[in-house]
Chains A and B, each alone.
Chain A
Amino acid sequence: MLEVTALNTFYGGAHILRDVTLAVGPHEVLALLGRNGAGKSTTMRSVMGLVRPRSGRVTFAGADMTGAAPYKACRAGLGYVPEDRRVFRELTVAENLEVGRREARPDAPSWSVDQLFGLFPNLAERRGTAAGRLSGGEQQMLTIARTLMGNPRLILLDEPSEGISPLIVEQMAQVIGEMKSRGLAVMVSEQNLHFARLVADRAVIIEKGEVRFEGTFAALDAAPEIARETLAL
């Protein structure tokens, strides 16, 4: 459903992504693994149109999305959850969700505020609270719920487990499972192989802007040196 072909992205003079190629199928959860600075976030930002790749192609559901404005990527059915919990701090939880709200689409599961409050009970209790006063984990939940309000077909989750408590990480894994069971495709970036294994069908490992591995976790286990070289600290 999402195909990224030979993507090259630069920040100023720095060459960040080098010929990155990957694909996410319908109803699939793909883990994008790599260390800090490997290019995971840049890959997602390039797909979303938040940075313009210098060369390469991004196609989504058959349409060319390369370099399209972020709002167009969103309207085409791509949902994006940034890594640093960018909630609108001065808006309430309910208002944050309202910003993300878009019309239901026939080809994707649709989410209502009530469903999302069911999925994230903590948020339901705090719907009138300014988002800036939520805990880190709650803010992370809110960014996911906010993106789901746009009824995406594929969701890009940038390091959802980073810097939150183990209890919430577990809840996060359940949420990703729920998304998959409702027919959503997911690309989730991770540094943690265990978490990735828990939620994803397949893995892509990226190192220094280049794809080093692409395949199932069974294939990854068969070649343990890859994970050791590219993921271990």
Chain B
Amino acid sequence: MMGFYFAQLLTGLANASSLFLIASGLSIIFGVTRVVNFAHGSLYMLGAYIAYSLVTTLPGVFGFWTGVILAAVATAFIGAAIEILILRRIYHSPELFQLVATFGVVLIVQDAALAIWGSEDLLGPRAPLLDRAVRIFGEPIPEYDLALIVIGPVVLGLIWLLFQRTRWGILVRAATQDREMVGALGVNQHVLFTSTFMVGSFLAGLGGALQVPRESVNLLMDLNIIGQAFVVVVIGGMGSVTGAFVAAVIISVANAFGVLVWPQISLILPFLVMAVVLIVRPYGLFGTPASAHGASVPEAPLRAMPPAGIAVAAIVAVGAALLPLADDGFLLVLGIDLLVAMLFAASLHLLMGVGGMVSFGHAAYFGLGAYAAALAVKSLGLPMLPAMLLGPVAAAFGAMVFGWFCVRLSGVYLAMLTLAAAQILWGITFQWQSVTGGDDGILGVWPARWASDRAVYFYIALALCGAGLLIIRRIAHSPFGYVLRGGRDSALRAEAIGIDLKAHQWLGFILAGALAGVAGSVFVFSKGSVFPDTLAIGHSVDGLIMVLLGGVQSLLGPLFGAAAFVLIEDWVMRLDHWRAIFGVIILAIVLLAPDGIAGGVGRLLTLLRLRRPA
């Protein structure tokens, strides 16, 4: 028995090594550049694919390890290309831009990997000379696992030497604390940032390459690892390599024993550990307060809508109401999708644009609304309207529980905790098969008979989503909205004048969650089904893209953004390589219109006015 537990411990430590490699790279990159690199999982995946191609070509022990190192080096150069072509242009943008831009890279890399290596899972060869198991306390332990257990601390030691004993390392540590000052002392930041990104990418590539003998190489590796890597970085403290190592060991060992108690725990355990750590130590085990925030730009005040705007809004509303007269098929379906997306995006904007709380997991509340409404119909046998009411109630309850923890943090840490919350809920819907149907979802959630006509349901959607949008507008311009915006611009000053900011933010979180829940319950009856991916990272990022597309600084922004997103998605999804095309579109928008569609149109108008001879 003793031997069995020891074997579990060793497995956990072996897993920790590769998790540490990818997380340390992520952490180093964040420390210096303040970029939350979503594409880090893609670099890990590329490292694995490239290593697969190399080790299946190069013979022998020498060939294997050469292949692993070359794969990591190749990944480093891919990372450099990403940094130079994309990130360098948006270092001064809010973290949301960087996140969305790197998500664009994720999509492009997925399609590139699919095109090069195909969709089959690839099984790499075992590592030569390390392809057997040794018995420790009577339990067979793969030799390769033992090698990994050694490699992790060795790499940690090398990184430590690099950071403590070389001029480059000293410059990197200085830049982590005060980038501007390093520049004023004559250091070219471009070179420093690119080289940092290369080191981080090398580590991700190495982590991926070392996994080749252990597990199959596939197209899901990127997003599977990135959530865990985020968690490790946050637990360890953003920017701390030692922290990443300790956190990787904690997570992996806890996982190795956790699965003995409950096999499915691996999906949510990391996020539970993270939630606990962040509540006790809000900046992670080895983090410092200064490392919490990315770049920030002052927000312009919201303006009241001019009469012309109200007239346009009224015309749009009437036009929407007349839509069923024009078409009763495809356009109505698209119209409902649009309404749902608009409310989802606007509720996220309420949270991040008005409240200053960037959420990487807003889809959780959309999904809660959708699942609650579906379960109310399927399990409780409620009619449609009460079921639709239960959606936002459940979402509000979820937002109340998770929001209480989230509002205690700010900046990147808050965003990470929202991501963790969403992953926990996703894990539950995915695993709790008897209630949620697991991966198969809940099917046959159709509107009541009286609302089964598409035009009728369109009006229901229009009424609910329109009301939701009006409420958001009302909140933003209410005294409560002023408090949220004041807290967003300066939490310290808001609290200094006697405002209980956390209570207000909590309420804002709950309201945003409830409104996302409305969108979710409208969504579920329009589709007739709901699956776990409504709560997944991808859907949360969709919301972020919509807000970003439209521009964060205006209440109308998310509406434009949602409309653009739904229309682009509807068009692109029919094409081959839609991921790559979508990724390129995202990048183009982030790089060319950093203030979104609303801002871009505004700038275009100013430009035209200026060009016109006076």
The residues of A with any CB-CB pair to B shorter than 8 Å are: 12, 48, 50, 69-71, 73-75, 80, 82, 86, 88-91, 95-96, 98-102, 146-147, 150
Contacts and interface: CB of A to CB of B under 8 A. Distances in A.
Nearest to A80: B184
Nearest to B191: A71
B174 interface: yes
Interface string B155-186: 00000000000010011011001101111111
Contact of B174 (A48, A82, A91, A150): A91
11 contacts: A12-B298, A69-B189, A73-B184, A86-B178, A88-B181, A95-B170, A95-B173, A99-B187, A100-B185, A147-B185, A150-B186
B476 to A, nearest CB: 23
Interface in B290-307: 298
A146 B184 contact: no
Q: Can you list the 4 inter-chain pairs with the closest CB atoms, starting with the nearest?
A: A74-B186, A70-B183, A70-B184, A88-B174
A210 B182 CA distance: 30
Contacts of A74: 183-186
A80 B171 CA distance: 17
Given A12-B298, A86-B178, A98-B167, A91 B185 contact: no
B177 A90 contact: yes
Contacts of A99: 170-171, 174, 182, 185, 187
Interface residues of B, number: 18
B195 to A, nearest CB: 15
A88 B187 CA distance: 14
Given A12-B298, A71-B183, 18 more contacts: A50-B183, A69-B183, A69-B188, A70-B180, A71-B185, A71-B188, A74-B184, A75-B186, A86-B178, A88-B177, A89-B177, A95-B173, A95-B174, A96-B174, A98-B170, A102-B186, A150-B185, A150-B186
Interface of B is mostly: helix
B181 A86 contact: yes
B183 A146 contact: no
B183 A91 contact: no
A89 B174 CA distance: 9
B401 to A, nearest CB: 36
Contacts of B173: 88, 90-91, 95
A82 B181 CA distance: 8
A82 B186 contact: no
B89 to A, nearest CB: 15
A40 to B, nearest CB: 16
A82 B184 contact: yes
Contacts of A96: 174
Nearest to B164: A95
Contacts of A88: 173-174, 177-178, 181
A64 B178 CA distance: 27
Contacts of B177: 88-91
A99 B189 CA distance: 13
Nearest to A99: B174
Contacts of A71: 183-189
Nearest to A94: B170
Contacts of A73: 184
A75 B188 CA distance: 10
